[in-house]
């Protein structure tokens, strides 16, 4: 069975996802176990570490199949972030020793790694990151606070990004360190992200957490530039797959509803056709962005197709909400939750895109940093 078929088959039989989730809903351990056994938690990890060895476009397609097949956007987010940390943090930047020690367990779902970057009041600016990594005998002591860490409550390891040194003028250099969940001085607390349930999020409190030197990720160059920023691009591109799956599932439900009603007006039929076209746009643009982000790194940017895809997602949400009101489709709780989650993802993408637009504009007029 191929990857996409496996994802759809698994999603069709997740009984613990039937009821609408809230912040208090525990993360479904049975779902995670089945995803691991089916090979879906190491999609892009090299074969040598029990992974699938698949390209980024496969994560896009598998994510689409998971959600279209019945998985929630929240669980799909946890699934995707787990795959991204396995491949683009540990496999790409872990070095030989850490890969040998940890990667197979992560790729099979036995262990979970979460990326800890964001801090209170950071607002996307690395200049405002304040968690510090101080060298000490035999290792490093990390102190600071991290927030909105996807998969934090279920993680066994955290890839914590912290300031290694600060130069005159405020320029900071960052490193990345693997911190075990049972490290003395580390406190993990669940937090409400406001959407995408039951994806678990956490805040970390680190107080002189000692990390042995061997758990410093050997990132070539500054960790924020060479690990965090590329990771964010992969995440923004590949979450389009699960979002497309949600669009297709929502569209299917609306079509089934309309098919039981009297003949629809040309206006309703036209609006339905527009939703189909928006799904096609996201599929074409998202797959191109996934191809570019992996195959054309350093030569082409995935941002034009990625930004256009997210604009199509936003248009879908707005047009879908208007059409269900017009057609009397109803206010189902799961339907409302899915639309809320899609709106949340669109807002996150738009926020990131706004920063990109500002940088492009300033560079054009010679006011870039």
- Cα distances (Å, whole numbers) of residue 34 to 25, 108, 243: 19, 10, 22
Evaluate whether 319 touches 336 at the Cβ level (below 8 Å): no
Enter the pTM of the model: 0.93
Evaluate whether 174 touches 184 at the Cβ level (below 8 Å): no
Q: What is the CATH number of domain 239-364?
A: 1.20.140
pLDDT tens readout for residues 23-58: 888 888 888 999 999 999 999 999 999 999 999 999
Evaluate whether 52 touches 44 at the Cβ level (below 8 Å): yes
C-alpha–C-alpha distance, residues 298 and 248, integer Å: 33
Q: Where along the chain do its domains lie? A: 3-112, 114-220, 239-364
* 3-112 and 114-220 share one fold: no
pLDDT tens readout for residues 139-152: 999 999 999 999 99
Give me the half-sphere count of Cα atoms (radius 13 Å) on the Cβ side of residue 250: 35
pLDDT tens readout for residues 344-353: 999 998 887 7
Say which residue, 82 or 337, is predicted with more confidence: 82
155 token code pair: 């993680």
Q: What is the CATH number of domain 114-220?
A: 2.40.110.10
Q: What angle do CA 293, 80, 43 make, to 5 degrees?
A: 75
Closest CA to 226 of 282, 161, 276, 178: 161
Helix (H, G, I), strand (E, B) or coil at 209: strand
Residue 333 has a pLDDT of 64
Evaluate whether 281 touches 308 at the Cβ level (below 8 Å): yes
Evaluate whether 11 touches 53 at the Cβ level (below 8 Å): no
Closest CA to 195 of 157, 227, 150, 230: 150
185-189: long-range contacts, CB 8 A cutoff, minimum separation 24: 185/209, 185/210, 186/158, 188/152, 188/153, 188/155
Q: Which residues contact 285 (CB under 8 A, 6 or more apart)?
A: 240, 305, 306, 308, 309, 312
Q: What are phi and psi of 261, to 5 degrees?
A: -100, 170
Residue 17 has a pLDDT of 64
Q: What is the CATH number of domain 3-112?
A: 1.10.540.10
Helix (H, G, I), strand (E, B) or coil at 331: coil
């Amino acid at each position: 069975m191929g990857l996409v078929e496996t994802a759809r088959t698994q999603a069709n039989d997740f009984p613990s996802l039937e009821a609408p989730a809230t912040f208090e809903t525990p993360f479904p351990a049975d779902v995670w176990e089945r995803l691991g056994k089916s090979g879906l938690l190491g999609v892009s990890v090299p074969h040598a570490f029990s992974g699938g060895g698949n390209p980024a476009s496969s994560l896009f397609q598998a994510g689409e199949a998971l959600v279209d097949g019945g998985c929630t956007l929240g669980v799909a987010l946890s699934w995707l972030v787990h795959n991204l940390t396995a491949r683009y943090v540990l496999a790409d930047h872990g070095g030989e020793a850490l890969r040998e020690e940890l990667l197979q367990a992560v790729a099979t779902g036995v262990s979970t790694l979460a990326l800890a970057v964001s801090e209170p009041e950071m607002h996307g600016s690395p200049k405002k990151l304040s968690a510090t990594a101080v060298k000490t005998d035999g290792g490093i002591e990390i102190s600071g606070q991290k927030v909105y860490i996807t998969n934090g409550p279920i993680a066994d390891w955290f890839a914590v990004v912290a300031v290694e040194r600060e130069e005159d003028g405020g320029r900071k250099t960052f490193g990345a360190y693997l911190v075990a969940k049972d490290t003395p001085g580390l406190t993990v607390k669940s937090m409400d992200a406001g959407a995408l349930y039951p994806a678990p999020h956490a805040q970390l409190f680190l107080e002189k957490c000692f990390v042995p030197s061997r758990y410093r990720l050997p990132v070539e160059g500054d960790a924020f530039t060479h690990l965090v920023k590329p990771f964010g691009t992969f995440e923004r591109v590949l979450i389009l797959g699960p979002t497309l799956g949600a669009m297709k599932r929502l569209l299917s439900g609306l079509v089934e509803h309309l098919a039981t009603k009297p003949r629809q007006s040309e206006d309703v039929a036209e609006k339905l056709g527009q939703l189909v076209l928006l799904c096609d746009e996201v599929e074409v643009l998202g797959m191109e962005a996934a191809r570019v982000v992996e195959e054309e790194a350093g030569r082409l940017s995935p941002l034009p197709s990625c930004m256009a895809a997210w604009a199509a997602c936003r248009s879908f949400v707005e047009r879908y909400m208007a059409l269900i009101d017009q057609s009397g489709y109803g206010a189902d709780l799961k339907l409302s939750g899915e639309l809320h989650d899609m709106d949340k993802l669109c807002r996150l993408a738009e926020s990131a895109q706004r920063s990109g637009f500002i940088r492009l504009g300033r560079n054009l007029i010679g006011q870039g940093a």
